[in-house]
């Protein structure tokens, strides 16, 4: 330890804010920060990897936990690897590209096991199914325009800072790093990003000012079908500015004939989101098509679709195996997005009904069922909360034998969980991209609903980030 600090009344020395300490990193936490201990107190540091000994400056102390900034890596981790991307450490896009992929997968497995153990569920968690290759996997990227560019340490004094198109830096909503290349997005996205920036500057279009709430350009969203090579460019603006946006779109399509569709979303609200109140079609059909495991999916700009196409095939197969409908079951797919899980199980079910809030996703889901020749699938638009609060009394579709549950990151609304317990389907396949939100809810299904967890399978949909997808199969004990 570099600096001495006073011993507290209960005999434990705890470094104060500003102290510099050496700590050996033992694990990663749920946000991808390295965690070690000093006298039994956890110290967390972003950018520190398990196996490293780092010197950190304590920046915050709260409820016995300390946060620190890494000043120096005193001892390197045996699992440290050279990152592929220049932006690592500054960019908030991924957390640990410099950590060997097999070690990442082990860490993710431990995280899932710890989440279950934390809620009293003793579950054997198998190895995480890795993504091969773990680079160039993202089929969707959402970039931000800003007039507050983050200046990197390598840049000369006075470098222009009034235009950026890229990703937020870690922990700063107001600073955007100009991204020159990303190792995670689909091949071709770097060139689209560079042109989007260049064309905007040539046409003198203004980037959004997050403090003043002015400027035209807000976000650039790119979507790509790996199987079809179709590419969507979605420009999110603060107003219509039709002429300027058309000129930008025209220049983009001229430079990149691979662009198959361009849309504009207009978001006039201060909230920094890439979904507009209105969408305008500028070029092509307004959708792209992706094919996963032989199933075709039409996807529009604001509909949810798994962001890792290659690994989606693994995930869908895992879900289909877990669901394994016997052929005569009624299936409900709660939070169905563009209908992916519904379509994956429909061939072996009597009927499937998907429930989804976002109208464009429901339109896509219906089109997808038709496109794939499935006539036993129905999609209902609305809030799952209302469906389950009506006691699952959805006219004409019958109560479910099996529920697929794939909620947003925050997990189920508590009342939806109550509704699911009341509905009491004999089987549930729960899909979660946030096991920390899901574990307490799964524990409640076990304790209050008489469910047994039959199988758990994690799969890595988001390499180089602390997030992991988990498929959990549950059976109500009295149904066996």
Q: Which of 222, 274, 365, 384 binds ligand SAM (CB under 6 A)?
A: 384
- The tokens 């009034």 sit on which residue? 162
Sign of CA pseudo-dihedral 270, 273, 278, 282: positive
Catalytic residues: 433
**Least distance to ligand SAM from the beta carbon of 323, Å?**
12
321-380 residues in contact with ligand SAM (CB under 6 A) are 335-338, 340-341, 355-358, 361
Q: Which segment (211-219, 258-266, 383-391, 471-479) binds ligand SAM by CB under 6 A?
A: 383-391
Contact 220, 250 (CB under 8 A): no
**Least distance to ligand SAM from the beta carbon of 152, Å?**
34
Q: Which of 291, 385, 437, 446 binds ligand SAM (CB under 6 A)?
A: 385
**Least distance to ligand SAM from the beta carbon of 315, Å?**
8
> How many residues sit close enough to ligand SAM to count as binding (CB under 6 A)?
19
Q: How far apart are CA 151 and CA 415, in angstroms?
A: 46
* 204 DSSP assignment: T
405-434 residues in contact with ligand SAM (CB under 6 A) are 406, 408
Q: In terms of CB distance, is 100 or 385 closer to ligand SAM?
A: 385
Question: Whose CA is closest to 452, among 475, 470, 473, 431?
Answer: 475
Encoding tokens for residue 225? 């079908």
Q: In terms of CB distance, is 166 or 411 closer to ligand SAM?
A: 411
Residue 442, SS3 per DSSP: helix
Q: In terms of CB distance, is 167 or 438 closer to ligand SAM?
A: 438
Q: In terms of CB distance, is 139 or 146 closer to ligand SAM?
A: 139
Q: In terms of CB distance, is 226 or 335 closer to ligand SAM?
A: 335
Contact 237, 217 (CB under 8 A): yes
Residue 463, SS3 per DSSP: coil
Encoding tokens for residue 149? 């560019």
Contact 275, 215 (CB under 8 A): no
Q: Per CB under 6 A, does 443 bind ligand SAM?
A: no
- The tokens 């699992």 sit on which residue? 79
Alpha helices in 256-372 (DSSP H): 309-323, 340-346, 359-371
Q: In terms of CB distance, is 53 or 378 closer to ligand SAM?
A: 378
Q: In terms of CB distance, is 79 or 333 closer to ligand SAM?
A: 333
- The tokens 């009344």 sit on which residue? 9
219-238 residues in contact with ligand SAM (CB under 6 A) are none
389-408 residues in contact with ligand SAM (CB under 6 A) are 406, 408
Sign of CA pseudo-dihedral 412, 416, 418, 422: negative
**Least distance to ligand SAM from the beta carbon of 312, Å?**
8
Which residues are bridge partners to 402 per DSSP? Answer: 331, 427
Q: How far apart are CA 50 and CA 45, in angstroms?
A: 11
**Least distance to ligand SAM from the beta carbon of 459, Å?**
12
**Least distance to ligand SAM from the beta carbon of 109, Å?**
21
**Least distance to ligand SAM from the beta carbon of 334, Å?**
7
* 206 DSSP assignment: P
Question: Of all residues in this chain, which one has the CB nearest to ligand SAM in the complex?
Answer: 337
275-314 residues in contact with ligand SAM (CB under 6 A) are 304-306
Give the contacts of 455 (CB within 8 A, at least 6 positions apart): 322, 471, 472, 473
Contact 18, 57 (CB under 8 A): yes
Q: What would you report as the CA-atom Rg of the chain, rounded to the nearest whole angstrom?
A: 24
Residues that bind ligand SAM (CB under 6 A): 304-306, 335-338, 340-341, 355-358, 361, 383-385, 406, 408
């Amino acid at each position: 330890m570099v600096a001495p600090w006073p011993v507290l009344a209960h005999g434990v020395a705890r470094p104060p804010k500003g102290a510099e300490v050496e700590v050996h990193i033992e694990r990663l936490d749920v946000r991808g920060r390295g965690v070690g201990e000093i006298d039994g107190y956890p110290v967390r540091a972003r950018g520190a990897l398990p196996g490293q000994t780092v010197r950190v400056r304590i920046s915050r102390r709260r409820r016995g936990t300390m946060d620190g900034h890494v000043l120096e890596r005193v001892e390197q981790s045996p699992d440290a690897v050279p990152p592929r991307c220049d932006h690592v450490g500054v960019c908030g896009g991924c957390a640990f590209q410099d950590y060997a992929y097999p070690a990442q997968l082990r860490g993710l497995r431990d995280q899932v096991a710890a989440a279950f153990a934390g809620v009293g569920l003793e579950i054997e968690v198998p190895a995480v199914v890795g993504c091969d290759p773990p680079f160039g996997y993202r089929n969707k990227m959402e970039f931000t325009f800003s007039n507050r560019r983050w200046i990197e340490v390598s840049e000369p004094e006075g470098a222009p800072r009034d235009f950026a198109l890229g990703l937020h830096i870690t922990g700063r909503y107001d600073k955007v790093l100009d991204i020159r290349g990303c190792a995670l997005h689909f091949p071709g996205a770097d060139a689209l990003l560079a042109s989007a920036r260049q064309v905007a500057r040539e046409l003198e279009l203004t980037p959004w000012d997050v403090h003043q709430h002015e400027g035209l350009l807000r976000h650039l969203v790119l979507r790509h079908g790996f199987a079809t090579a179709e590419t969507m460019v979605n420009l999110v603006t603060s107003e219509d500015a039709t002429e300027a946006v058309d000129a930008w779109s025209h220049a983009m399509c001229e430079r990149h004939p691979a662009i198959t569709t361009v849309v504009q979303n207009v978001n006039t609200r201060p909230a920094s989101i890439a979904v507009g109140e209105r969408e305008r079609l500028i070029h092509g059909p307004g959708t792209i098509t992706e094919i996963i495991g032989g199933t075709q999916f039409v996807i529009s700009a604001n509909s949810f679709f798994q962001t890792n196409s290659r690994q989606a095939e693994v995930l869908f197969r895992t879900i289909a195996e877990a669901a394994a409908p016997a052929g005569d079951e009624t299936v409900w797919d709660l939070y169905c997005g563009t209908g992916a899980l519904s379509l994956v199980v429909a061939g072996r079910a009597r009927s499937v009904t998907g429930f989804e809030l976002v109208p464009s996703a429901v339109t896509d889901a219906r089109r997808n069922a038709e496109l794939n020749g499935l006539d036993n699938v129905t999609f209902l638009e609305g809030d799952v909360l209302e469906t389950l609060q009506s006691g699952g009394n959805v006219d004409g579709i019958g109560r479910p034998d099996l529920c697929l549950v794939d909620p947003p990151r925050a997990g189920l609304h508590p009342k939806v969980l109550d509704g699911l317990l009341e509905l009491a389907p004999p089987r549930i396949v729960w899909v979660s991209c946030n096991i920390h939100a899901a574990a307490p809810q799964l524990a409640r299904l076990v304790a209050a609903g008489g469910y047994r967890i039959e199988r758990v399978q994690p799969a890595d949909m988001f390499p180089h980030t602390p997030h992991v997808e988990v498929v959990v199969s549950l059976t109500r004990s009295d149904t066996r």
